[in-house]
Amino acid sequence: MSAPQLNLFLQGIRITRLLLLLIPLKTFSQTPVDAKIMDNGPVHWLVPGNYPLEITLTNNDVDFEGIYSIDASWQIDGGTIHACTVDEFMFGTYIPSGFIAYCDIITHTDELEFTEPGIYNLKVWTSLPNGYADEYASDDTLYTTVRVVDSLPEKYELLYFGTHQNCFPCGGIGEENLGTIHDTYGDAVNVVRIHAEASGTGEDIFATDESNTLNDLYVWNYTGHPAFLHDLYRFPVVDYSFIAYTIGNVEGVEFRKDFKYPIEVSVKKLEMDTITRTYSGEVHAKFYADYDGALSMNAIITEDSLYAYQMGYPDIYLWHMNIMRDMTAGVMGDNTIIPLHAIGGLTYVYPFSGILDEEFNYKLIYVTGIVQIYDADDSLHAEILNSGRTKLTDFNTEDIDTSVQVINNSLNTINIFPNPANDVITISGNIIYDAAAEIIITDLSGKILMQQQLNALSKDENIRLNIQDIASGIYFLQIQSGEYQTVSKIEIVR
């Protein structure tokens, strides 16, 4: 397994220390957090090998009583202690009306090595150097269990069908009776093997045999509405629950905490000009199931490490915070490439652009993508936000970079004209595809009406496509090359 894959297992471990600088005559009421683990679940099942461990410390002015650094440490099964002393922080300066405290984020990357199958206890903690007492210490020591096995099961995509009214033999959401599912339907359909922990005995859900190989997991083929796709390498850790959801008129349950939503949203192909504070990019929404309903798509900016006004003190920055701000207006239905009828398995692309204002003193800027789902009465039913953040740039209003920073230069955009069209459409734009690229036109149900291979295509070329054999109506035009895919809506009028 490659390092990038393995990092998926360990990327959830974060160590954070938050210290307060006291101000005379004023008391700040805050619960300090010295360490925490945001565990995505995957650290618990590995095969022998080396794995990256990322430790991130967030500082809010550690220059208190002569303390200029923080130690981050980790240890496996009481063995060698691996420590990292972090002393790269910026330090605040006391002023009569308050203080200035800068928040720095320092990341230390280390490596874990597991050579033999077994169960290992990983301990991670933070501490002040030289035995200095932490007056504001909280839970600064964290533990997690890592199970190393000879091999992981074959990587399946678990496709779950059904609604929460009819798919479980126990009725309802069925949280208490998961153990009966396999017993009830074992001869009728293939289901996920549920072990004793699901029924509350505390035993390992994914029991291993004598060869330290995980039991296989199977596909549940129960009929009903399609819901979730899931990478079975990403196991849950403790909680084994079903969470009911409703999307449009389709009801169902989330079978694992880390299931993908029916829509996976990501922001790609971002550009940022730090002189004009302009940005542009694409929000990609991949639908794992067919969907009918009104959709709205936005790009969202996260302003990270802001200069804040706090408790009446001017220019005080006490701790790390995020503020979510809408970057674009929503787009809906027939007026956008996001269709009223989404086809499962396809990715729809929404380009966005805008200008950042100077209301805040930005330090770090991130972008996420969001899809909002509306009911027939136009009431907001659900919001789906991707968990990953895409970094645009580092700058602030006092020290703006004088160069243009391009984060991803592989921008592919297309224009289709005329649209609506009659017999011929022309496709143009900044398009670069290899010889394996192809154009596909489908109807709203996903039926392929035209499929044509493309020769190698440069950004200066136009594509003319004869569509005279296709009847009047609304269709989707898809261009695909390797991992890149774009889908646009076209209308044919006779």
The CATH number linked to 453 is 2.60.40.3080
CATH number of the domain enclosing 10? 2.60.40.10
d(Cα 234, Cα 158) in Å, to the nearest integer?
11
96: Cβ–Cβ under 8 A, 6 or more apart, which residues? Answer: none
Record the tokens describing residue 286, joined without a space. Answer: 């991949």
pLDDT band at 438 (very low <50, low <70, confident <90, very high): confident
Q: Where are the alpha helices (DSSP H) in 216-350?
A: none
Phi-psi region of 478 (alpha: psi -120 to 50; beta: other; left: phi over 0): beta
Residues 179, 94, single domain; the answer is no
On whether both 256 and 197 belong to a single domain, the answer is yes
443 shares its domain with 387? no
Tell me which range, 61-75, 159-173, 354-368, 436-450, is most confidently predicted by mean pLDDT.
436-450
Pairing of strands 404-406, 82-86: unpaired
pLDDT value at 439 more than 80? yes
Pairwise CA distance, residues 254 & 163, whole Å: 10
What range does the domain containing 13 cover?
Answer: 3-148
pLDDT per residue as tens digits for the range 455-464:
655 555 677 8
d(CA 110, CA 81): 12
Last residue of a domain, one of 212, 227, 260: 260
Assess whether 128 and 169 both reside in one domain.
Answer: no
Beta-strand runs (E) in 188-326: 226-228, 243-247, 250-254, 263-273, 278-287, 291-292, 294-304, 322-326
| C-beta of residue 368 within 8 angstroms of C-beta of residue 300 | yes
Predicted local confidence at residue 482, as pLDDT: 60
Q: What confidence tens digit (pLDDT) does each residue in 175-185 have? A: 333 333 333 33
Distance between CA atoms of residues 61 and 186, nearest Å: 59
Last residue in a domain, options 243, 260, 277: 260
What contacts 257, CB < 8 A, 6 or more positions away? 41, 236, 239, 241, 243
Task: State how far Cα 67 lies from the chain centre.
Answer: 36
**Helices and strands, counts by H and E, the chain:** 2, 32
**Hey, which of 306-320, 431-445, 464-478 has the most confident mean pLDDT?**
464-478
End residue of a domain, out of 148, 174, 209: 148
User: In degrees to the nearest 10, what's the CA dihedral of 256, 158, 289, 287?
Assistant: 80
Cβ contacts of residue 227 below 8 Å, gap of 6+? 160, 161, 162, 250, 252, 253, 262, 288, 289
Domain harbouring 307, CATH code: 2.60.40
Q: Torsion-angle region of residue 489: left (phi > 0), alpha (psi -120 to 50) or beta?
A: beta
Q: Please state, in angstroms and rounded to a whole number, the distance separating the CA atoms of residues 244 and 369.
A: 23
Number of domains in the chain: 4
Structure tokens at 316: 């005080």
18/95 same-domain check: yes
Give residue-wise pLDDT tens across range 2-20: 332 222 223 333 333 322 2
396 plus 272 within the same structural domain: yes
Cβ neighbours of residue 359 closer than 8 Å, sequence gap 6 or more = none
- 49, two tokens: 């090998």
Q: How many residues does the chain have?
A: 494
Res 220 pLDDT > 70:
no
- Give the lowest-confidence range in 324-328, 389-393, 436-440: 324-328
As a whole number of angstroms, the distance between CA 374 and CA 469 comes to 36
Confidence bin at 29 (pLDDT 50/70/90): very low
Are both 18 and 63 inside the same structural domain? yes
- Among left, alpha and beta (phi > 0; psi -120 to 50; other), residue 133 is beta
Q: Which of 93-102, 271-280, 468-477 has the lowest mean pLDDT?
A: 93-102
- 47 and 114, same domain (yes or no): yes
188 and 134, same structural domain? no
Beta bridge partners of 364: 304, 394
Q: Are strands 93-95 and 160-161 parallel, antiparallel or unpaired?
A: unpaired
Phi and psi angles of residue 333, each rounded to the nearest 5 degrees, phi first = 55, -130
Whether residue 358 sits in one domain with residue 238 = no
Shared-domain flag, residues 98 and 214:
no
Q: Kindly state whether residues 296 and 375 are assigned to the same domain.
A: yes
Give the model confidence (pLDDT) of 297-323 as tens digits: 666 665 554 433 333 434 433 333 444
What the block records as the tokens of 483 is 């991992």
